[in-house]
Structure 1
Amino acid sequence: MLIDVFVSRPNTLDENQEQTMQRIERLLEQRGIRARTIGKTDFPNVSPMRAVEQLMRQCSGAVILGFPQTIIQKGISKPGTDNEKSIKNILLPTPWNQIEASMAFMLDLPLLVIRNQGIEGGIFDIGTTGHFIHTFHLDNEEWIEKPSFLQPFNDWHNEVVRNLQVN
């Protein structure tokens, strides 16, 4: 029996991101986990927010993948305030990462948060959920095989299995 886990990820990925996604999906499959994502594996006939909620309620955990989807080459943060500052080369994930991570947190699903180097804010800020935030470079394929990732991944997997047994 496969364990369903919600995966928050962009539906459109570049080649490096797609390869990283495939590595993550293989790791999940090796542990008996089926990755489920709105617009990739599931195509509901309800509004996106309702679809995410319904799908998450069928899952025993969540993976939040922060891939760059927008680059702000030059801009201003907090304009017109005392905290205004110039910004450049800021990487932003899909806004759905924030929404889906919040929903998973509220449903008390075990969370595994993985971000590309340079992605920050909200769920990707250290200390937001109390869980470690895994950071990687897309060009480096080795991070997924290192004990510094695998040990916390195994802990998350164990939590997912316990969550399945409780529900």
Structure 2
Amino acid sequence: MTDYDMDAPLTAIRRLMLESNGIITIAFRRAFIEKGIGKPNGDIGQDSYDISNNWMTSPYSHIEPAMAFQIGLPILIFREDGVIAEGILEQGVTGLYMPEFNLDKQINYFDTLEWTQVIGKWEGHVRSVVQNKGCPPKLY
């Protein structure tokens, strides 16, 4: 059983967002760019830039947290090392810390102090959403 329905994907995502109190997104590597140029109509060094040997993630790793951000939900995004840091995956765009991870390393991230601090802060924001959802709306 899934929470998704047969509507257009964005409609289904919006419905899920309205029923949620927060979102965690994991931007895994999905498509490898062996050789590529961003803004290819410019010369390298001016407007264009090299994106060779990088990864792209699923577009939903951008769409879902952006939709959550627009309605004020706490978001926590993890970006796999090598995934291009653009859009909502760019450090500082949402104002929240975005941990990077590397699946090739043998480190258990969930045993680190960083994980405890990051998830604790996110959890505090989620608890505020739960609390505020029970309050009447404020006009100002």
Tell whether 2:108 aligns with 1:142: yes
Q: 1:128 aligns with which of 81, 85, 93?
A: 93
1:166 maps to which of 115, 132, 135: 132
The ranges of structure 1 where at least 4 consecutive aligned residues each deviate by more than 4 angstroms after the TM superposition are none
Once the two structures are superposed, residues 77-119 of structure 1 have per-residue CA deviations (whole angstroms, 9 ceiling, x without a partner) of: 1111241233311111101111111100001000111111122
Cα distance in 2 between the residues matched to 1:129 and 1:66: 15
2: CA distance, partners of 1:64 / 1:108:
15
Q: Which structure 2 segments of 5+ residues have no match?
A: 134-140
- The 1:79–1:59 alpha-carbon spacing in structure 2 relative to 1, beyond 3 Å, is same
Equivalent residue of 1:115, what SS?
Answer: strand
The aligned length equals: 128
1:25-44 equivalence runs, <5 A:
41-44=2-5
Q: How large is the Cα RMSD of the aligned pairs?
A: 1.5
Amino acid at match of 1:55: L
Deviations 1:29-80 (A, max 9, x none): xxxxxxxxxxx83231211000000011000001111101111111121111
Counterpart secondary structure, 2:19: coil
Which residues of 2 match residues 1-167 of structure 1 at below 5 A?
Answer: 41-81=2-42, 82-119=46-83, 120-140=85-105, 141-167=107-133
The structure that has the greater radius of gyration is 2
Counterparts of 1:110 and 1:134, CA distance in 2:
15
- Which secondary structure does the structure 2 equivalent of 1:57 belong to? helix
TM-score normalised per structure 1: 0.72
Partner SS for 1:71: strand
Alpha-carbon distance in structure 1 between the residues aligned to 2:61 and 2:51: 22
Give unmatched runs, 5+ long, in structure 1.
Answer: 1-39
Which one has a larger percent strand, Structure 1 or Structure 2?
Answer: 1
